[in-house]
Amino acid sequence: MPDFLESKSLRLIVESLPTGMIIVDQAGRIEMLNRRVEEWTGYTREEICGQLVECLIPERYVANHPRHRDEYFTEPRVRPMGVNLDLYARRKDGSEFPIDISLHPLPLPTGMYVMVHMVDATDRRAREALQRHEESLRRLQFMVENLPAGAIYVSLDTQILLVNRAFVEMTGYPPSELSHLMPAFELLFQNRATEVLQLHNQDQTTGFPVPRELLIHCRDGRQAWVEVAAYRYNNHEVWLWHDVTERLAAQEQLVQSERLAAIGEMMTGLAHESRNALQRARASLDMLDLDLEQRPDLRTLSHRAVTAIEELQRLYEEVRNYAAPIRLERRNVDLEEICQETWGYVQQDHRDKNATLSFECQDQARVVDIDRHRAKQVFRNIMENAISVLPESGGVIEISTKQVVFNDQTWIEVAIQDNGPGMSDEQQARIFEPFYTTKARGTGLGMAIVCRIMAAHGGLASVRPSERGALIILHFPATDPEG
């Protein structure tokens, strides 16, 4: 080692440096190093002095390093190494750590040397990576917040959610109620929350190949169909939500119209062909009834046959009416007036039930532009369903109206609540299906007709969960949708 390098002053300076320091001769041998280098590399100076500097270079770079070293000594100058590159040093145990290096030529009487300043860059790179990550997340969150579609940003590490304005407007839930994954799913999907989360986890393993159509529960009690597409970014996801309720309804309405046209055509032909036969059967039974005045047992059977014929005729007529196109004659109608009038007819048919009707109406939700006859048909079908399951005494049907706003439109909401046994999950899901009934007698078309009439008005009919009895909700547009 040159005498200059053995100087105590130089050693004191080198040892006091906060950075690592190595002095290398022109042949690439390490002549001196300080305590920092020992701490970072695991070598003692006795082990490493005299070795080629390549012992500190990762093996994948060792082959090319002597050439770079020789090039430096042909034109020595102060310069950082690896500009715009990530450099690493190799420890004694073969592991690596990130470093920053600058080279300083050191001309001495015995030849040219180079001082290598080293800094352990582990903390710096971690901070920079965190800054890049946080900046990337800020940009992502900014994009999510300003998307025109409903969007949720998800941190998979913490399961914390951030929802944008469009999603809040779509569902009605404030961000504070949708801040964590599972509670948010329980609000949006209720008793299907666990099932939907399992579907999401399955799609997660396959990279979300296709969007899913899901039914969500909004804060105001509405249900909406949404199409959800998810995108993964490291340990984060973005879910895009599009309300497709109207699109699906339009598709369903088209299919339903085609189906109803076929049913109507079939029932019209069937009723026409059967009418004469039923009339002849009825006439024959009426004549037979005259001959059975002295045979009450046989006369009872005759009356039962007449009743069966009448029920069959009503069935034909009800199915035909259900399938027929609905044409509306709109005018301003007082909702309380037609409800009370309809309730009078229902009570006459159910004199055995001691049931009452109460009506509560907001002033701004009293008059609506609808077809009076069709609206009475809606209320009668709902009242008939309710009164048939009410207790024989103490049965109550409560009707209330109010004005609400959703989907940027004003609606008249009519809530019809009874104190009967309520509906099962299956009944709530299927109540508006044609021909679905839990009664021993009936066609199961009453509530399906309600749904059709409401749709013809541009309105909605739905069921809401209730702690007591059944709760049917009707939404009429506050203004003529075609006006």
pLDDT in tens, 140-183: 667 667 777 888 888 888 888 888 888 988 899 998 999 899 99
- With pLDDT > 70 as the criterion, what percentage of the chain qualifies? 87
pLDDT in tens, 246-276: 888 777 777 766 666 666 666 666 665 666 6
What's the whole-number average pLDDT of the chain? 84
Q: Is residue 483 part of a domain?
A: no
Please list the residues that pair with 6 across neighbouring strands: none
CA nearest 170: which of 150, 153, 155?
A: 150
- 261 with 364, same domain: the answer is no
- 372 with 467, same domain: the answer is yes
Q: What amino acid is encoded at 243 in this protein? A: D
Q: What angle do CA 225, 227, 229 make, to 5 degrees?
A: 155
Q: From 243, 276, 303, give the residue that closes a domain.
A: 243
pLDDT in tens, 413-472: 999 999 988 888 888 888 888 777 776 566 677 888 898 899 889 999 999 988 888 999
**Mean pLDDT value of segment 37-51:** 92
Whole-number Å distance between alpha carbons of 152 and 178:
9
> Which residues, 6 or more positions from 22, have their beta carbon under 8 angstroms from its beta carbon?
30, 32, 33, 37, 53, 56, 115, 116, 118
- 21 with 147, same domain: the answer is no
Given a cut of 90, whether residue 43 has pLDDT beyond it is: yes
What is the pLDDT, as a whole number, of residue 273? 63
**Mean pLDDT value of segment 218-232:** 89
Q: Is residue 216 part of a domain?
A: yes
- 415 with 472, same domain: the answer is yes
Residue 185 sits in a domain of what CATH number? 3.30.450.20
- 146 with 47, same domain: the answer is no
> Which residues, 6 or more positions from 379, have their beta carbon under 8 angstroms from its beta carbon?
338, 339, 342, 416
- 318 with 334, same domain: the answer is no
pLDDT in tens, 63-82: 988 998 888 888 888 887 65
**Mean pLDDT value of segment 367-390:** 91
- 112 with 166, same domain: the answer is no
What is the pLDDT, as a whole number, of residue 233? 76
Confidence category of residue 54, pLDDT binned at 50, 70, 90: very high
Confidence category of residue 298, pLDDT binned at 50, 70, 90: confident
What is the pLDDT, as a whole number, of residue 482? 46
- 339 with 458, same domain: the answer is yes
- 340 with 432, same domain: the answer is yes
**Mean pLDDT value of segment 88-110:** 90
- 290 with 417, same domain: the answer is no
Q: Is residue 482 part of a domain?
A: no
Could you tell me which residue, 138 or 381, shows the higher pLDDT? 381
Given a cut of 50, whether residue 45 has pLDDT beyond it is: yes
- 312 with 380, same domain: the answer is no
**Mean pLDDT value of segment 466-480:** 87
**How many folded domains does the chain comprise?**
4
What is the pLDDT, as a whole number, of residue 476? 94
Residue 451 sits in a domain of what CATH number? 3.30.565.10
Structural tokens at position 266: 């079939």
What is the dihedral angle through the alpha carbons of 362, 368, 372, 377, rounded to the nearest 10 degrees? -60
* pTM, rounded to two decimals: 0.44
What is the pLDDT, as a whole number, of residue 266? 63
**Mean pLDDT value of segment 473-479:** 89
Cα 115 from chain centre: 61
What is the pLDDT, as a whole number, of residue 216? 93
Given a cut of 50, whether residue 483 has pLDDT beyond it is: no
**Mean pLDDT value of segment 304-325:** 71
Q: Is residue 298 part of a domain?
A: yes
Confidence category of residue 307, pLDDT binned at 50, 70, 90: confident
Could you tell me which residue, 195 or 4, shows the higher pLDDT? 195
Q: From 323, 355, 390, give the residue that closes a domain.
A: 323
pLDDT in tens, 111-149: 889 989 998 888 888 888 888 877 876 776 676 677 778
Q: From 243, 273, 297, give the residue that closes a domain.
A: 243
Range of the structural domain that residue 306 is part of:
247-323
